[in-house]
Chain A
């Protein structure tokens, strides 16, 4: 390749990278910089922050009640992650390691379930929860979120379990290893990347979910998770953009840190689930 063409293609790539970064990061930058900018609440803001302040964050965490919302969301997300990881792993072992009647039917059913829109589920589940007297509690939400993360988790883990060489298990079996030992020392370490990916998915589902939180939690602000908390905050302080962006930053931050740390495992998990399946 001659040097001029290579230089031109490098400039092209540079421009493309810049465009991608601007599109990707501008909303994030705008959210964070507005959160720290006094002008965002009073008007007259410009592209660069002008008057640095922590007031928005202080206001959001005290008056806004986001301390409670964050705690609720953390509880909901952690319980969802643990329960769905366990349930998904069991189911994934069943569909990846055993040939049984209706196996394909089960797999198809799980995939179809994933397609059901939440708007369709929210009506019957709301009426059901209401008749059980369980409205306004995060307990009901956790159960729903586990159900929402199952389909994806089973499909993803299935690929990982199938990729574990059967010979390894055979060898352990011949050596007299118990089922539990075999599971813990062979299967578990090898499917760990898949479990990580599944856990991220269910964490995000639980942390971000909006329609069920809005419907089931109703007016019980003590039980609000972050997404419905942000909506009610917006309803109260509609023009205080500085505080709304501070609240947005606070609830985005945990997810972002989590994502950046695990991103490599996540990518390999996604593809393994998609291809090796």
Chain B
């Protein structure tokens, strides 16, 4: 959006001295200045009370040893940065939790955006009928709630009753049922399937809508000049769709870092199996499972910092694109 966009006519008429034909009596300048803030007020108040204030509070809890006793008495129990020291010196954080959080998010964003873009390119080559059919089917995957999806994938990979194991057994590839949920890698492979399945439709539909706006003449000219599909994508399609890709990547990053239900609801994912903990689940389990709200808050603050740190980089590139 450009910064020089014309303001609402009412504002123009009221804030400048030039009279407009048929204009109504001028109101005080202060009201005009206040109008955007009046419109913003409900939204900003809700965001401030329910998101900004809790964010400050979670930081304050993270500096306390806050447990059941403190909840009941309402007293504070400041211990400085001890929770952070405990978290940062805990080897679990570095060997298990961070790889499960950051590593997983990186792989998941890459996989989601790649699959989504490929599907969009495929959809763009289809005729109208097939495009509508395939994109409706994709919507169905998108519509599946995370909780439902997680149980379905859990069922598919269930050790005894899952279709995956039984197909492998029938094909003679496996003698005994394998429990895929105990191993960290296979556990997260299933989470990845779940997350990509749920996340790629948004990317595909968004990129497709953008693709339809890419100049056909340019693509044809490039093809005539001997540019292959790979080159056409990076030289024409990607630059044109850069704003779309920034939005898609930012949103996927935000969503994939905050993967919670998809891990928490799988067997062992709710704290039972410590090798599959990620930062969000660890924070939740420490807070609500162990009543260590202070330590859990410190972990939550760390998650927030990682998330904001990474996304600020993206926002800055987005700002350059359209200057807000």
Contact with A along B39-66 (1 / 0, CB 8 A): 1101110110011111101100100000
Q: B97 contacts the other chain (Cβ, under 8 Å)? A: no
Check A117/B304 contact, CB under 8 A, given A124-B58, A210-B146, A274-B206. Answer: yes
Cβ–Cβ < 8 Å partners of A87 in chain B: 42-43, 46
B307 in the interface, Cβ–Cβ < 8 Å?
Answer: yes
B114 to chain A, nearest CB (A): 13
Secondary structure call for the B interface: helix
Q: For residue A114, which residues in chain B have a CB less than 8 angstroms away from its CB?
A: 254
Give A206 Cβ to nearest chain B Cβ, in Å.
11
Say whether A263 contacts B55, CB under 8 Å. no
Taking CB atoms, residues of chain A closer than 8 Å to B74 are 131
Q: Bound state CA distance, A267 and B322, in angstroms?
A: 21
CB contacts between A and B, total, < 8 Å: 301
A17 touches B22 (CB 8 A): no
- Chain B residue nearest in CB terms to A31: B152
A60 contacts the other chain (Cβ, under 8 Å)?
no
A150 to B40, CA, bound (A): 11
Cβ-defined contact, A27 with B311, below 8 A: no
Task: Report the interface size for chain A: residues with CB under 8 A from the other chain.
Answer: 106
A119 touches B300 (CB 8 A): yes
Chain A residues contacting B20 (CB-CB under 8 Å) are: 173-174
Q: Are A90 and B284 in contact (CB under 8 A)?
A: no
Q: Assess whether B152 is in contact with A90, with CB atoms less than 8 Å apart.
A: no
Q: Does A127 contact B (CB under 8 A)?
A: yes
Contact of A244 among B37, B140, B151, B308 (CB under 8 A): B151
Encode contact with B along A129-147: 1 for CB under 8 Å, 0 otherwise. Answer: 0110000000000011011
Beta-carbon contact of A244 and B40 below 8 Å: no
Q: Tell me if A252 counts as interface (CB < 8 A to partner B).
A: yes
Query: Which B residues are CB-close (under 8 A) to A231?
Result: 147, 265
Supposing A119-B300, A270-B205 touch, asked if A28 and B141 sit within 8 A by C-beta, the answer is yes
A140-191, CB < 8 A from B? 143-144, 146-147, 150-151, 154, 158-159, 162, 166, 169-170, 173-174, 176, 179
Evaluate contact between A267 and B46: CB separation under 8 angstroms: no
Contact of A95 among B40, B58, B122, B261 (CB under 8 A): B40
Distance A125 CA – B46 CA, assembled complex (angstroms): 13
B-chain residues with CB within 8 Å of residue A125 when the two chains form the complex = 50, 54
A113-B261 contact given A173-B10, A259-B142, CB 8 Å threshold: no
B260 touches A121 (CB 8 A): no
| Inter-chain contact A117/B136, CB cutoff 8 Å | no
A27 contacts which of B54, B144, B158 (Cβ < 8 Å)? B144
Within the complex, what minimum Cβ distance (angstroms) separates A179 from chain B? 7
B113 adjacent to chain A (CB < 8 Å): no
Query: A210-B261, A215-B288, A227-B145 are known contacts. Are A117 and B280 too (CB-CB below 8 A)?
Result: yes
B221 at interface, CB cutoff 8 A:
no
Contact at A88–B300, with CB atoms within 8 Å?
no
Taking the complex as formed, is B9 at the interface, i.e. its CB lies under 8 A from any CB of chain A?
A: yes
Partner of B54, one of A94, A124, A263: A124
Min distance, Cβ B20 to any Cβ of chain A, angstroms: 7
Is B1 in contact with chain A by the CB < 8 A criterion? yes
In the assembly, what is the distance between CA of A227 and CA of B265, in Å? 11
CA distance A158 to B122 in the complex (A): 31
Interface contact B311-A154, CB-CB below 8 Å: no
Chain B stretch 1-52: residues in CB contact (< 8 A) with chain A: 1, 3, 5-11, 13, 20-22, 33, 35-37, 39-40, 42-44, 46-47, 50-52
Q: Give complex CA distance A45, B166 in Å.
A: 9
CB of B147 within 8 A of CB of A147, answer no
User: A21 contacts the other chain (Cβ, under 8 Å)?
Assistant: yes
In the complex, the chain B residue whose C-beta lies closest to that of A250 is B148
* B71 close to A127 (CB less than 8 A): yes
Chain A residues positioned under 8 Å from B99 (CB to CB): none
The answer, yes or no, to whether A104 is at the interface (CB within 8 Å) is yes
10 closest Cβ pairs, A-B complex: A94-B39, A124-B57, A120-B300, A147-B50, A98-B36, A124-B54, A91-B43, A271-B209, A208-B145, A94-B36
CB<8 Å pairs between A and B, sample of 26: A21-B134, A25-B140, A27-B141, A27-B144, A27-B156, A34-B155, A90-B39, A91-B42, A94-B37, A98-B8, A104-B324, A108-B315, A112-B308, A115-B254, A119-B303, A120-B283, A121-B58, A123-B61, A130-B71, A144-B50, A162-B5, A174-B22, A227-B147, A241-B158, A251-B148, A277-B322
